[in-house]
Structure 1
Amino acid sequence: MATQQRTGRLAGGVYLVVIATGIFSLAYVPSRISVGDDPAAAVANVIAHADLFRAGIAAFALEQIAFLLLPLLLYRVFAAAHRPAATLMVALAVTGVPIALAALAHRLEAVTLLTDPALARALSDGQLQMLAMAALKSWSSHIFLASLFWGLWLLPFGWLVWRTRAIPRVLGVLLMLGGIGYLLNVFGELLIPGYATTALSNYATLPASLGEIGSGLWLTLFGARAPDLVPPRVARAVNG
């Protein structure tokens, strides 16, 4: 039980690193750089806030390192209860990492194009801005694809939380609903014109945010209870 709690607390600490760096790199930095549908203004903001943009790149790299460790720690918490689901959780989480790192390369390419003096001497301002805008578009496309796996891994993770009661079951429900929300957003944007402007797209992943922040905090503060290895239906039958 003590080992389970220690592993859970370590997973919670890593989860909070993922959450904090993700909020900084995927929410705060874009909020300072992006300017609606005006890519030229966004490029100008990258130049004006180059240090912040680079900090966002570093934070996202740290997030991906932590996100590689997180499912492996969670596997140790849940594998005894249901190894196939725990394995699927790890596989889906890890699959998104190389896609996200490929996205990060495009983000780094954009700021390099706009701030490297050698490139400024070799190419015109218009050429550099056009290449930088293309790199930022590639970043967005890769992040969009990675978000598919950010949602998929939450489904087995949430199910394991629900089944084992290692942390409160309500968090498992939120994680599964959030995973579905990610899928709705990905396929909605692919298949439904104007989906990105709907209210659903704005709130579909809210359960994921609540579930992930709640899980990270709970695990950090309380660790994980020993998984319930006996399904509730069987336990009720045994207890008469």
Structure 2
Amino acid sequence: MNSMKKTARLVGLLYLVWIISGLFGLMYVPSKIIVREDAVATANNILANEFLFRTYIVNGLLSITLWVVIVLLLYRMLKPVSERQAKLMVALVLVQIPTEFVMDAFNITSLMILKGEVLKTFDLNQRQDFAMLFLRINDYGILALELFWGLWLLPLAILVYRSRFLPRFVGVWLMVNGIAYVVLSFTSLLLPQYRDTVFTISFPAMLAEVVFMLWLLIMGAKPQPSVDTAVAVG
């Protein structure tokens, strides 16, 4: 198996783990803990499921690290297609990392507040409200980050489309996926009442990363013929 195919399948495997990590952090844990507009119920859920909440925090840190590894491997694989687009792709991921760490810090702070490790002079209801505030800030951080979740996919889509070792339809799908994230982010911030509708409409587009991951994991990347081989065939 050639080096490019090995790299592609490694990226596919890491991408699979990253997607599972994302589903755990963005969907599973919030569904078990967060109760919208109810600070008391949310606080009780966090304290009753403290280990799950701590796992959620650690998962966030590991997910960020894994994402950096994935994008660097993609850079290595796609740099020959266009170094400029590959660098832009990496930059649009790395610029998100500080915000991701701050959001994890907010989650840790929420837990510390609820356990009475900080703000000890405040009563229970006030601490619950403060904890909910940090969790809500975290939610809005995710809405803002959705913009960059879309933007980094645009140079990736261009690189996949231009490459001769990955299918073009995946590149087109990734482009639509990126645009969908951008639209969803602006909708969430400007017209939040339409977020669910926009998400439902754009959901098929957001399956592009799953398709990309499966292609890399199962098919790898088709090796490009060497110059000598190309000349001989010609």
Question: C-alpha offsets along residues 135-165 of structure 1, whole Å, 9 cap, x if unaligned?
Answer: 1112112222222111110111112111214
Could you tell me which residue of structure 1 aligns to residue 184 of structure 2? 185
Q: How big is the alpha-carbon RMSD for the aligned residues of Structure 1 and Structure 2?
A: 2.2
Could you tell me which residue of structure 2 aligns to residue 50 of structure 1? 50
Could you tell me which residue of structure 2 aligns to residue 41 of structure 1? 41
Question: Which one-letter code corresponds to 2:154 in the other structure?
Answer: L
Distance 1:145 1:68, change over 3 A: same
Could you tell me which residue of structure 2 aligns to residue 235 of structure 1? none
Matches within 5 A, 1:1-240: 2-116=2-116, 118-119=117-118, 122-192=121-191, 194-197=193-196, 199-208=197-206, 210-226=207-223
Could you tell me which residue of structure 2 aligns to residue 232 of structure 1? none
Are the aligned partners of 1:99 and 1:143 in contact in 2 as well (CA < 8 Å)? no
Q: Aligned-pair distance for 1:228?
A: 9.1
Partner SS for 2:161? helix
Aligned pairs, how many? 227
Q: Aligned-pair distance for 1:225?
A: 2.2
Moved more, 22-31 or 4-13: 4-13
Question: Which one-letter code corresponds to 2:83 in the other structure?
Answer: R
Question: Which one-letter code corresponds to 2:42 in the other structure?
Answer: A
Distance 1:96 1:184, change over 3 A: same
Question: Which one-letter code corresponds to 2:90 in the other structure?
Answer: V
Q: Distance in 2 between matches of 1:100 and 1:206?
A: 26
Q: Distance in 1 between matches of 2:167 and 2:49?
A: 42
Q: Distance in 2 between matches of 1:97 and 1:175?
A: 21
Q: Aligned-pair distance for 1:129?
A: 0.7
Partner SS for 1:92? helix
Are the aligned partners of 1:81 and 1:228 in contact in 2 as well (CA < 8 Å)? no
Unaligned runs of 5+ in 2: 227-233
Distance 1:122 1:29, change over 3 A: same
Unaligned runs of 5+ in 1: 230-238
Question: C-alpha offsets along residues 102-126 of structure 1, whole Å, 9 cap, x if unaligned?
Answer: 111101111221135x448543212
